[in-house]
Amino acid sequence: MNRRDFLKTMGAVACMSGCTPRAGAFPEGELLGASGILGHRLRDGRLPAPGSKRRLHIAIVGAGVSGLSAGWALARAGVDDFAVLELEPEAGGNTRAGRNAVAAYPWGAHYLPIPSQESVATRIMLAEFGVLQGDPSDPRPRYDELHLCHAPQERLYINGLWQEGLMPHVGASQRDREQFQRFEGLMQSYKHRRDAQGRKAFAIPMALSARDPDLLALDQVSFRDFLYAQGLDSAPLHWYTDYSCRDDYGCTAAETSAWAGMHYFCCRDGEAVNAATGSVLTWPEGNAWLTRRLAEKVGSRLQTGAVVFRVEENRSGVELDVYHAGENRSERITADHVIWAAQLFALPRIQQGCRADLAAAISRLSHAPWLTANLTLRAPPAAAPTGAPRSWDNVLYGTPSLGYVVATHQHMRVSSGPTVLTYYRALANEKPASGRQRLLQTPWRIWAEDIMRELSAPHPDLPQLVQRIDIWRNGHAMVRPTVGFIWGKARECLLQPGRRLHLAHADLSGFSVFEEAQYRGVLAAERVLRALVVKHGSLLA
């Protein structure tokens, strides 16, 4: 008799004595998330004073997508004398991942759309990793089929039925369908729009987008209100656009700026010779597959558990006081240049003489709290006799979550064995601060029961299958492109180039997606390379 059987027996005994049924059968799991302890020690300033000194050409703070991309760009240019300092015990940032006996699974970003032609750095990276085959500047390159999301890709659970695709067709009226069509037509027309210089209306990286006043004006209205103004009021359409905003930005369509909302639908026009436009690349561990390879390029220059707790820019360079948690000691690094690729909100607190306008701009940033859960299952949930088959992305209509993706979907195997489902939820329907508080204060059991209840609607057999529910909390998961932020004063201030301290984070783009983070990291790295007069080929053009 193992522990589980023992608990079941005890549960059965408890039932007989009048306890609630199934008390012993609930799966196990734990609550995970960004290392709060180090963060709090950083905030409270109780870290040892530096005991040694080191000089470096370049220090990169943060080993998320932008920091690792900056390091990759430096390494490619032949620069050796740099370090990437990461507070967490592992690199990856929003692309962290876990692994158990069943599969590797994501804790954050889990896919990358096949890149548009403007996403030059991303294409070059994919070619380096063998994902993009051939010339990365080819308008329609070939992608390794193993990394393209396998069929079937996505389905939606609505009115008790799984339908193919995410646009809610089940139960939609003729009027709804007409609006879906008009919406798609509208997005198509913006997708093809170019300005006088030939720039796309909505490009990714977003910095390469057109600046036509009527386009920038879209930032002044919410995506929801923009749709209403277009005469689009269909409830299923609004569910779909709201879902899309929550999925990519962690905030509702009522808060998302129309510019950002449209960007989501218009920027992904990457083509491939062997995949449809809009196809995505994905891996069991999500985008950690990419950041682990970027981290390999950075190699031993990556230092984890390294807390930067003081920054000071002076005439000879930038001083960084760094606490190394593993060794419980601090050192002072003086670098010619620092690329700040960590979240910006900590910077004003630790930078000596941080510019007031910068501090003010940073205070305008708001971040969405997120919850991710990985459910380990003995076997996949039973397939419904009708409706769309089990897919990679499984979304539930009208629920607070974003549904789940199947970590084992990309496994090359025929038999269906144990699996891991990755469940996502942006706490978007409340103010970020209160959502963050709720996220951190709610105990594991409450979240786990909530998730089980939600997913048991389409999968009644789920309670018998789930063995573990591990939950990851991210209080500051992604910057929110709220109305007025993208083309507002605050972001403009963040974009002003520094002399030795270079900001590089998706925060600078106003929304957190892989291509933006990578662009910001590579952009900062190339600025530093130019300042240091290192010859290099650009990864951006």
Partner 1 sequence: MRPALLITVFLIASCGLAYELVAGALASYLLGDSVTQFSTVIGTYLFAMGIGSWLSKYIGGRLALRFVQVELLVGVLGGISAAVLFLLYAWVEGPFRLALYLMVLLIGVLVGLEIPLVMRILRQHVNFRDLVSQVLTFDYLGALAVSLLFPLVLAPHLGLVRSSFMFGLLNVAVAVWTIRLFRDELPVRALYMQCSLAALLLGAGFVGAERLTTLAEESMYADRIVYTESTPYQRIVLTRWRDDLRLFLNGNLQFSSHDEYRYHEALIHPALAMLPHPARVLVLGGGDGLALREILKYPAVHEITLVDLDPAMTHLFSHHPLLTRLNGNALNSPRAHVINADALIWLEQDGGRYDFIVADFPDPSNYAVGKLYTEAFYRLLDRHLKEDGLAVIQSTSPMYARRSFWTIVATLEAAGLQTSPYHALVPSFGEWGYIIASHRPYRPPANYPIPLRSLSAASTQGLFTFPPDMERLPVEVNHLNNQRLVRIFEEEWHEVIR
- Min CB(282)–partner 1 separation in Å: 10
- Min CB(416)–partner 1 separation in Å: 6
Q: Which stretches within 217-311 are classed as H helix?
A: 223-229, 235-249, 258-266, 288-298
| Token pair recorded at residue 238 | 């609004």
Query: Which one-letter amino acid corresponds to residue 438?
Result: R
- Min CB(412)–partner 1 separation in Å: 4
Q: In the complex with partner 1, which residue's Cβ is closer, 230 or 464? A: 464
Q: In the complex with partner 1, which residue's Cβ is closer, 181 or 416? A: 416
Residue with tokens 């530093």: 528
Residues 6+ apart with CB under 8 A from 264: 244, 245, 248, 249
8 Å CB contact between 512 and 521: no
- Min CB(138)–partner 1 separation in Å: 18
Element (H, E) at 121: helix 120-128
Q: In the complex with partner 1, which residue's Cβ is closer, 279 or 330? A: 279
Q: Closest by alpha carbon to 304, among 64, 468, 75?
A: 64
- Min CB(411)–partner 1 separation in Å: 8
Q: In the complex with partner 1, which residue's Cβ is closer, 16 or 414? A: 414
| Token pair recorded at residue 230 | 């277009």
Q: In the complex with partner 1, which residue's Cβ is closer, 28 or 144? A: 144
In Å, the largest CA–CA distance within the chain is: 78
- Min CB(134)–partner 1 separation in Å: 15
Q: What is the DSSP string of 152-164?
A: S-EEEEETTEEEE
Q: In the complex with partner 1, which residue's Cβ is closer, 166 or 221? A: 166
Q: In the complex with partner 1, which residue's Cβ is closer, 153 or 330? A: 153
- Min CB(262)–partner 1 separation in Å: 26
Helix (H, G, I), strand (E, B) or coil at 362: helix
Q: In the complex with partner 1, which residue's Cβ is closer, 150 or 364? A: 150
Q: Closest by alpha carbon to 288, among 110, 69, 89?
A: 110
- Min CB(516)–partner 1 separation in Å: 25
Q: In the complex with partner 1, which residue's Cβ is closer, 256 or 279? A: 279
- Alpha carbon of 224 to those of 252, 262, 366: distances in Å? 9, 11, 19
- Exposure string (b/e) for 351-372, b if CB count within 10 Å is 16 or more? beebeeebeebbeebbbbbbbb
User: What single-letter DSSP state applies at residue 26?
Assistant: -
Q: What is the DSSP string of 37-62?
A: HHHHHHHHT--PPP-EEEEEEEEEE-
Helix (H, G, I), strand (E, B) or coil at 257: strand
8 Å CB contact between 314 and 478: no
- Alpha carbon of 521 to those of 116, 133, 261, 516: distances in Å? 18, 24, 24, 9
Q: In the complex with partner 1, which residue's Cβ is closer, 153 or 394? A: 153
Q: In the complex with partner 1, which residue's Cβ is closer, 149 or 501? A: 149
- Alpha carbon of 297 to those of 10, 80, 97, 301: distances in Å? 52, 11, 19, 9
**How many residues are recorded in the chain?**
541
Q: In the complex with partner 1, which residue's Cβ is closer, 391 or 422? A: 391
Q: In the complex with partner 1, which residue's Cβ is closer, 413 or 499? A: 413
- Min CB(292)–partner 1 separation in Å: 19
Q: Closest by alpha carbon to 420, among 118, 107, 87?
A: 107
- Min CB(99)–partner 1 separation in Å: 17
- Min CB(277)–partner 1 separation in Å: 12
- Min CB(419)–partner 1 separation in Å: 12
Strand pairing partners for 56? 335
Strand pairing partners for 320? 311, 333
Where along the sequence are the contacts to partner 1 (CB under 8 A)? 145-146, 148-153, 274-276, 279, 389-390, 412-416
- Min CB(276)–partner 1 separation in Å: 7
Query: Which one-letter amino acid corresponds to residue 392?
Result: W
CA pair distance 231, 223, nearest whole angstrom: 13
Helix (H, G, I), strand (E, B) or coil at 180: helix
CA pair distance 258, 221, nearest whole angstrom: 6
